[in-house]
């Protein structure tokens, strides 16, 4: 049982304790309020892992792109 849980946790990129007991991770604060990391999909978690592996310069580029997309989306919503 424990070995299967460990394999599954590695495959899903979550801790074995999270699979066993549920998500215990704290919320991540952002500009819009708080983001409950337990609500993230596996795809979003995988993206965050890849993001944290980037250099600081590449992270800044990603942040700039996301900010530009957010601004463009808010302009579309307003009209």
Q: 19: domain range?
A: 1-39
Other beta carbons within 10 Å of 3: 7
What are the phi and psi torsion angles at 2 (to 5°)? -65, -40
Is residue 76 domain-resident?
A: no
Asked whether the whole model's pTM tops 0.85, one would answer no
Helix, strand, coil percent values for the chain (each to nearest 5): 70, 10, 25
Return the residue matching tokens 């801790």: 15
- What's the number of domains the chain is made of? 1
Is residue 70 domain-resident?
A: no
Q: What pLDDT score does 65 carry?
A: 93
The whole-number average pLDDT for the span 12-19 is: 76
Average pLDDT in the chain:
77
Q: What pLDDT score does 24 carry?
A: 47
Is residue 55 domain-resident?
A: no
Q: What pLDDT score does 27 carry?
A: 45
The whole-number average pLDDT for the span 4-10 is: 83
First to last CA, the chain: 55
pLDDT of residue 2 exceeding 90: no
């Amino acid at each position: 049982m424990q070995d299967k849980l460990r394999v599954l946790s590695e495959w899903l990129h979550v801790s074995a304790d999270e699979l066993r007991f549920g998500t215990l991770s704290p919320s991540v604060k952002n500009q819009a309020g708080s983001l409950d990391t337990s609500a993230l999909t596996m795809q979003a978690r995988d993206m965050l892992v890849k993001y944290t592996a980037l250099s600081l310069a590449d992270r800044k580029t990603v942040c700039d792109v996301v900010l530009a997309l957010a601004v463009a989306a808010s302009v579309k919503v307003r009209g």
